[in-house]
Amino acid sequence: LIAASPPPPAAPRAASTFNIDLSGKTAFIAGVADSRGYGWAIAKNLAEAGCKVVVGTWPVVLGPFKKQLESAEGFGADQVMGNGQKMEISQVYPLDLGFTTESEVPAKVLQSKYYAGLSGFDIRSVAAKVEADHGKIDFLVHSVANGPEVSKPLLQVSRQGYLAASSASAYSLIGLVQEFGPLMNKGGGVVSISYVAATQIIPGYGGGMSSA
């Protein structure tokens, strides 16, 4: 008889910044679109702690984000964890937080080049996909800020632009919890990210975003 060779040792888990072990846990992060935002930093820290990371990305920036993420170089040093391994994002879903259900999506959005070939990018549809693909989740992170008139000073913002910023950036948290809450394991947690513009003036950050 020839003894079977022992399996190679598993790569060491990266040391978490917070010295915690989240192996076996799953997180869904809404609002990851590059390696510079808060969402990416949160994803990286969760991955370093052993957590499975699943993200939702705005369709307008989905293409470039996935293309770089799936390339050989990925996001370079920004994607390297403490143990030298590349952070893995288990799945990226197109997600538009301006719509809780598919019936709310107007025809003009579906006709946009950024949404061509996409379906089920509303919150409810994405929650159903996540449950089907990954089962229950343990963490829900809302890391989103979006508004069509963000470059305008507040007094030049239209009512529609202001309400759109509040819808996508603030109310979307309610929609996320409504749809993802039933998917969460007991003891799970929800985190929503704010920004310093909520408490002080940030030049160039207008369009109702500070209020949202």
Distance CA 141, CA 147 (A): 19
Q: Give yes or no: 195 in active site.
A: yes
Q: Which of 38, 114, 171, 205 is catalytic?
A: 205
Catalytic status, residue 205:
yes
Positions marked active-site: 195, 205
